[in-house]
């Protein structure tokens, strides 16, 4: 007979795990890794009017944008599971870290605060998508998970806000961290997240309070980075504008979404996410006007001239000068019949693998990326420009937008973007301030995954996600003035502002109940 009490030699068991700071720290590392992912980051834009996922149904965004989904859509379950998995890790950490007796008390307090922000983060996404959701202050048993009913969103939001306050108190400011800790949650990140939570709740006065905490410089040091394009380049990771970013490391923790987003002629495989004509149209002309405004100087025959420089930093259009890593330039031909190369990989072709809108993406292109665009460039979750825009929006909503607020927010953002005309930089008291800020937010933050949340909280999804999403003016002129019909969409305002509780979750726990209209 042989011994049957075999102990694994390559993993820890409960008996020997919670013994050192290093091991506890590994659990916190896992919690960080679960906070978001690059596919959600990029493809979420395809749910909005800014972009179209024309190949496959990546992360369900094609179905969500077109409104052709039902509660069985995999993304719904995926998003739900994703966040609760993150919550579990933080709960396990918070409930067991005290077993590590040897840990430094200050470090323990900081790590607990990091875990609490991460947990709040997940509840924030869950409530934003689903409304009322199951809420656990501590790690649930299987039985509890099967029978729990949903907690009202308002209660969870209160929990999130309280937690963020508590965590902010224990977290160091960004400058207080050692360089090796860059990427960790800071006091400023907790405050900025709180501002975003309040923004999504339209609690404008509270948004102002939180944003001011950051604009004051008392809770970390933040400023707009000098170059808009540079914010998203690898050499400027951890720049002064970054409040919190998702960490990637070249080769070892990396993503290659640009393989299906960049122009094909510079090495992409195909196009799975294409900016829309609607996004392109939202960029102002250099004099600060919308393209359809009188005196904008917009020329439909030359649509990319005389435009907000952020367009070029974000979207690749016909005739675009794509700068390669070696600084040489490749002209991108997306208009059918224009490419001198007979293969014409980037030209729009109905039903082809090139972009279905005639546009590609530049923002977040990493010139240092490896084969197949494998990139370790961090993805910014909250940046200081967003704080300024939140502040501006809150002030505008409160009717308090004025030259002073403007000069603290929109003006520096536009200046940094490269606007020079006074008409673009000066405060215009007669404009619809809310509309101006909203459009500024759209263009400044385009392709950063935030648009879908904005159009939902503004309740304009039913306007911008109904009918055709368009591409460039490469189509037959008798249809939609020649703008390509890329994707027909529908948005049912009676129910779609909340995602349905996933079918499988409802089957496992009928106590959840379904959202209205689903």
Partner 1 sequence: QKFLEAPVSIKLNNTRLTDALDKIAADKQVRFAYTDNVLKQTYRVTLTATDKSIKDLLGEMLSPFNLTYKIIGDVIVISEGGATTITGNPVDQKQVKITGTVTDDLNLPLPGVTVKVKGTTIAVSTDANGVYTIDAPADAVLVFSFIGFTTKEVAVNGQSSLNVQLVAERTTLNEVVVVGYGTQKRSSVVGAIDQVGSTIYEGRPAVNALQALQGTMPSLIIQQRSLEPGQAPNVNIRGVSTIGNNTPLLVIDGIIYEDFNAINNLNPSDIETSTVLKDAGAAAIYGSRSANGVLLITTKKGKKNTKATINYNGLVGIQKPEVTYQPVHSYENALLRNEANVNAGLQPIYSPQQIRDMQAEGDHEWFLDAILKNAWQQNHNLSVTGGSEKTTYLVSAGLVDQRNNLVGPDFGARRYNFRINLTNEIGKLKVTSILAYNRTDRKEHSFNTSTLIVDAARTPTYYDIKDANGNYLTNDVLAEFNPLGILEQGGYRQADDDGINANISAELNITSDFKLRGVLGGTLVSNHTLERVKQVNFLPKGTYGADRNTNDINYKSLFINTQLIAEYNKTFNKKHNVGALLGVANESLTTRGNEIRYRLTDPELGTPTTGTIIDPNTSRGTLNSDNTTERSLNSAFGRVTYDYDNKYYGEFNFRIDASSKFNKQNRNAFFPSISAGYRISNEDFMEDYRSKYGDLKIRGSYGILGNQNVDDYNYQTRFQNAANVYGFNNSVVSGINIAFANPDLRWERGATLNIGVDAGFLKNSLTVSADYFNKTTRDILLVPQVPGAYGAGVPLYNAGEVRNQGWELNVNYRITSKNFRHTINFNVGDSKNKVLKLEGDQEIFSYDEMQVIRKVGLPLNSYVGYKRDGYFQNLDEVNNGPKPTGLNVVPGDNRYIDVNKDGVIDENDKFVLGNPFPRYNYGLTYNLGYKQFDFTLFLQGVGQRSMFVRGELVEPFHFNYGQVVYQHQLDYWTPQNPDARYPRLAANGSQSNTNNFRRGSDMYLYNGAYMRVKNIQIGYTLPTSIAKKIGMQKVRAYVSGQNLFTISSIDFLDPEASEFNNNLGAGGANSGRNYPVPVYYGFGLDISL
235 binds partner 1 (CB under 8 A): no
490 binds partner 1 (CB under 8 A): yes
Binding mask 92-121 for partner 1 (x = CB under 8 A): x-----------------------------
Minimum Å gap between C-beta 84 and partner 1 is 4
Q: How many CB atoms lie within 10 A of CB 169?
A: 11
Spatial contact of 461 and 493, defined as CB atoms under 8 Å apart: yes
What Rg do the C-alpha atoms of the chain give, in angstroms?
A: 24
Residue identified by tokens 């089957």 is 507
- The residue among 100, 117, 121 whose CA lies nearest residue 26 is 100
Strands 315-316 and 360-361, bridge-based pairing: antiparallel
Grouping H, G, I as helix, E, B as strand and the rest as coil, residue 311 is helix
Window 455 to 474, contacts with partner 1 (CB under 8 A): none
Window 162 to 191, contacts with partner 1 (CB under 8 A): 179-184
Residue of 21, 33, 408, 439 interacting with partner 1 (CB under 8 A): 33
| Residue among 88 and 187 whose Cβ is closer to partner 1 | 88
| Cross-strand pairs, 360 | 316
| Residue among 282 and 487 whose Cβ is closer to partner 1 | 487
Window 324 to 383, contacts with partner 1 (CB under 8 A): 341, 343, 345, 349-353, 371-372, 376
226 binds partner 1 (CB under 8 A): no
| Residue among 137 and 507 whose Cβ is closer to partner 1 | 507
Q: For partner 1, how many residues bind (rule: CB under 8 A)? A: 101
| Residue among 326 and 478 whose Cβ is closer to partner 1 | 478
- Which span (19-27, 161-169, 289-297, 358-366) binds partner 1, by CB under 8 A? 19-27
- Which span (99-107, 243-251, 274-282, 406-414) binds partner 1, by CB under 8 A? 243-251
23 binds partner 1 (CB under 8 A): yes
Residue identified by tokens 């961290």 is 177
Strand boundaries in 237-295, DSSP class E: 242-246, 274-275
Check the CA dihedral 500-505-510-511 and report its sign.
negative
- Which span (27-35, 224-232, 285-293, 396-404) binds partner 1, by CB under 8 A? 27-35
CA gap 504, 80 in Å, rounded: 11
- The residue among 451, 300, 294, 427 whose CA lies nearest residue 363 is 451
CB neighbour list of residue 404: distance below 8 Å, 6 or more residues apart: none
CA gap 298, 308 in Å, rounded: 11
Residue of 168, 382, 475, 515 interacting with partner 1 (CB under 8 A): 475
CA gap 414, 428 in Å, rounded: 14
Window 48 to 67, contacts with partner 1 (CB under 8 A): 54-56, 62-63, 66-67
502 binds partner 1 (CB under 8 A): yes
Minimum Å gap between C-beta 513 and partner 1 is 14
253 binds partner 1 (CB under 8 A): yes
Minimum Å gap between C-beta 27 and partner 1 is 5
| Residue among 23 and 428 whose Cβ is closer to partner 1 | 23
| Residue among 209 and 247 whose Cβ is closer to partner 1 | 247
Binding mask 256-275 for partner 1 (x = CB under 8 A): --------xx-x-xx-----
| Cross-strand pairs, 285 | 307
| Residue among 122 and 411 whose Cβ is closer to partner 1 | 122
129 binds partner 1 (CB under 8 A): no
CA gap 239, 235 in Å, rounded: 9
CA gap 353, 371 in Å, rounded: 20
503 binds partner 1 (CB under 8 A): yes
Interhelix angle 105-130/153-170, nearest 10 degrees: 150
| Residue among 67 and 309 whose Cβ is closer to partner 1 | 67
Minimum Å gap between C-beta 140 and partner 1 is 6
149 binds partner 1 (CB under 8 A): no
Spatial contact of 121 and 153, defined as CB atoms under 8 Å apart: no
Window 71 to 90, contacts with partner 1 (CB under 8 A): 71-72, 74, 77, 80-81, 84-89
- In this structure, which long-range contacts are made by residues 65-69, counting pairs with CB atoms below 8 Å and at least 24 apart in sequence? 65/465, 65/469, 65/487, 65/489, 66/487, 66/488, 66/489, 66/490, 67/465, 67/489, 67/490, 67/491, 67/492, 67/496, 68/490
Window 393 to 452, contacts with partner 1 (CB under 8 A): none
CA gap 363, 312 in Å, rounded: 9
End-to-end CA, the chain: 60
Minimum Å gap between C-beta 263 and partner 1 is 11
Strand boundaries in 373-517, DSSP class E: 379-383, 467-470, 485-489
- Which span (6-14, 218-226, 301-309, 361-369) binds partner 1, by CB under 8 A? 6-14
242 binds partner 1 (CB under 8 A): no
Q: How many CB atoms lie within 10 A of CB 288?
A: 21
Minimum Å gap between C-beta 487 and partner 1 is 6
| Residue among 232 and 283 whose Cβ is closer to partner 1 | 232
Q: How many residues does the chain have?
A: 518
């Amino acid at each position: 007979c042989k011994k049957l009490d075999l102990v694994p030699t390559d993993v820890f068991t409960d008996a020997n795990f919670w013994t050192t700071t290093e091991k506890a720290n590994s659990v916190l590392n896992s919690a960080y890794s679960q906070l978001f992912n690059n596919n959600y980051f990029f493809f979420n834009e395809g749910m909005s009017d800014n972009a179209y996922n024309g190949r496959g149904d990546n992360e369900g965004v094609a179905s969500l944008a077109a409104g052709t989904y039902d509660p069985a859509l995999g993304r719904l379950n995926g998003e739900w599971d994703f966040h609760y998995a993150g919550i579990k890790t933080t709960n396990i950490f918070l409930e067991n870290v005290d077993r590590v007796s040897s840990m430094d008390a200050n470090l323990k307090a900081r790590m607990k605060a990091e875990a609490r922000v991460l947990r709040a983060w997940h509840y924030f996404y869950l409530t934003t998508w689903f409304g009322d959701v199951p809420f656990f202050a501590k790690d649930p048993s299987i039985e509890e998970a099967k029978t729990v009913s949903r907690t009202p969103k308002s209660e969870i939001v209160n929990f999130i806000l309280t937690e963020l306050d508590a965590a902010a108190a224990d977290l160091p400011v960004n400058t207080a961290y050692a360089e090796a800790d860059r990427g960790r949650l800071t006091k400023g990140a907790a405050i900025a997240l709180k501002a975003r939570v309040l923004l999504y709740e339209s609690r404008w006065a509270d948004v102002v309070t939180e944003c001011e905490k950051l604009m004051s410089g008392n809770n970390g040091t933040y400023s707009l980075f000098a170059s808009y394009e540079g914010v998203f380049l690898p050499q400027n990771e951890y720049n002064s504008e970054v409040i919190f970013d998702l960490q990637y490391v070249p080769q070892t923790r990396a993503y290659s979404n640009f393989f299906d987003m960049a122009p094909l002629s510079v090495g992409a495989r195909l196009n799975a996410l294409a900016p829309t004509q609607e996004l392109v149209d939202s960029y102002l002309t250099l004099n600060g006007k919308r393209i359809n405004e009188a005196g904008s100087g917009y020329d439909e025959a030359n649509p990319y001239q005389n435009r907000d420089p952020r367009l070029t930093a974000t979207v690749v259009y016909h005739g675009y000068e794509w700068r390669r890593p070696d600084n040489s330039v490749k002209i991108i031909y997306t208009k059918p019949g224009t490419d001198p190369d007979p293969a014409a990989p980037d030209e729009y072709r109905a039903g082809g693998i090139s972009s279905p809108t005639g546009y590609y993406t530049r923002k977040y292109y990493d010139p240092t990326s490896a084969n197949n665009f494998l990139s370790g460039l961090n993805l910014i979750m909250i940046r200081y420009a967003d704080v300024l825009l939140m502040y501006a929006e809150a002030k505008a909503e409160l009717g308090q937008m004025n030259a002073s607020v403007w000069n603290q927010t929109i003006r520096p953002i536009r200046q940094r973007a490269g606007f020079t005309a006074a008409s673009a930089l000066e405060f215009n008291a007669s404009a619809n301030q809310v509309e101006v800020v909203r459009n500024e937010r759209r263009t400044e933050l385009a392709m950063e995954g935030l648009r879908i949340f904005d159009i939902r909280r503004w309740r304009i999804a039913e306007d911008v996600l109904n009918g055709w999403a368009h591409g460039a003016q490469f189509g037959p002129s008798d249809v939609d003035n020649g703008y390509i019909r890329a994707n027909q969409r529908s948005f049912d305002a009676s129910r779609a502002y909340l995602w349905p509780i996933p079918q499988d979750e409802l089957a496992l726990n009928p106590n959840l109940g379904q959202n209205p209209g689903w």
